Amino acid sequence: MQKSDVGIYIHIPFCKSKCFYCDFNSFHANNGEFEFYKNILIKEISSFEKLKNYNIKSIFIGGGTPTIIPEEYINEILEAIFNYNINRDAEITIEANPGTLTYEKLKNLKSFGINRLSIGVQSLNNKILKNIGRIHTKEEFLKNYEDAISVGFNNINLDLIFSLPDQKFSEWKDTLKNIISLNPKHISTYGLILEEGTKFYEMYQNGNLNLVDDYLDRKMYYYAKEILSINGYEQYEISNFAKSGFESKHNIIYWTMENYKGFGLGAHSYLDGIRSSNTTNFNKYLNSDGEISKLEDYKNILSEKDKIEEFMFLGLRLSKGISIEDFNKKFNKNIYDIYSDVIKNNLNKGLITVTDRIYLTEKGKDISNTVMADFLL
Ligand code: SF4
């Protein structure tokens, strides 16, 4: 029997300190905890024998800040995954933050088989970096980037955030221009979202946070789209831009509802129609001894309705949208029997384009959440 493809996500939940906007599953920990966590993680990976039935087409080590733990641990984790069937051309990404990288570390990560770096830059303005709680400066990032190139990484993503408190348009423009001049293969840009439980949220509640207005937020987004397009970056997803052939294979798995398996604290999976996630409780995870039954928190077998909604909701994030033929084949149904009115309404409003595919127009991308919510049944 032919094996299906799967992407692997590994969660490393540690960070040096908490950025002011961040509500991710990440926190400060010590060396002993790093080692203990790594050991449980490896047990979890090794005990998931079902993985033998798949071909691994991508690995994404995310966080948190995976580059905060000793790189030998990263190697051990990868070795545990390499015991399964891994495609020769698998994309293997690690998220990295300036302030936790050295030339030596980058060289080692490359030698372990990692072929893609995703660096959290956010801004190239030192004042802004400080005001959002980042641990690094522009100069540290530039040094890390130069080192990454010199050790042989040629597939690098740089993450940026716009609409940061007090951010001026000219500062965003400068960051983008300087980032583009480095010629990375992939750039992700996210508008700031104020999340509950973050330091920014608290500052906002106390009236101490000066957010940019909607007009400036859109102006920044449009500028990014324009300058990135002029410089050869195709917007293949709402927040993601890449040079041709360098779209993230791993992230595309999420948006096209292919199989992925997550390992580690709070990691999510979608495998053969079942969504599941691990506990977000650190002690519970450490006490599980890597036994799946003890660390899994949630499991949901998706109904057909769930699958249809997710297929539309996630697929519309991609610039090329969804294929009508794929939909009809996958669900053995005609898409117009389900979405005829929704398609007509959004088409009339100029929010989607319909050919043999359905995808968001530029206007639709602007209010993507509203359009996507329309496809909920
Ligand atoms: S480095 Fe990333 S994961 Fe860690 S606190 Fe900052 S934004 Fe959150």
Over residues 298-309, the pLDDT tens digits come to: 999 999 999 999
The residues, any chain, with a CB within 8 Å of residue 152's CB and separated by 6 or more, are 110
Residue 93 is predicted with a pLDDT of 98
Reported confidence tier of residue 205, pLDDT bands at 50, 70, 90 = very high
Residue 25 is predicted with a pLDDT of 87
- Minimum-distance ligand 1 atom for the alpha carbon of 97: 1
Count other C-beta atoms under 10 Å from residue 231's C-beta: 16
Rg (CA), the chain: 21
Token representation of residue 257: 């509802």
Closest residue to atom 5 of ligand 1, CA basis: 18
CATH superfamily of 4-254: Aldolase class I (3.20.20.70)
Residue 307 is predicted with a pLDDT of 96
How remote is the CA of residue 249 from the centroid of ligand 1, in Å?
Answer: 23
Spatial separation of the C-alpha atoms in residues 66 and 97, rounded to whole Å: 8
Whether 22 lines ligand 1, by a CB cut-off of 6 Å, is yes
Q: How far is CA 93 from CA 16, 84, 110, 155, 210, in A?
A: 20, 17, 10, 9, 35
How remote is the CA of residue 64 from the centroid of ligand 1, in Å?
Answer: 5
Whether 16 lines ligand 1, by a CB cut-off of 6 Å, is no
Helix or strand run (H / E) with residue 227: helix 214-230
Closest residue to atom 2 of ligand 1, CA basis: 64
Residue 2 is predicted with a pLDDT of 79
pTM of the model: 0.96
pLDDT tens by residue, 3-44: 899 999 999 999 999 999 999 989 999 999 999 999 999 999
Whether 261 contacts 49, CB under 8 Å: no
Whether 97 lines ligand 1, by a CB cut-off of 6 Å, is yes
Count other C-beta atoms under 10 Å from residue 43's C-beta: 18
> Of how many residues is the chain composed?
377
CA dihedral 202, 204, 205, 208 (to 10 degrees): 100
What's the rounded mean pLDDT across residues 348-377? 95
pLDDT tens by residue, 136-180: 999 999 999 999 999 999 999 999 999 999 999 999 999 999 999
Percent of the chain topping pLDDT 90? 99
Could you state, in order of their start, the residue ranges of all structural domains in the chain? 4-254, 322-374
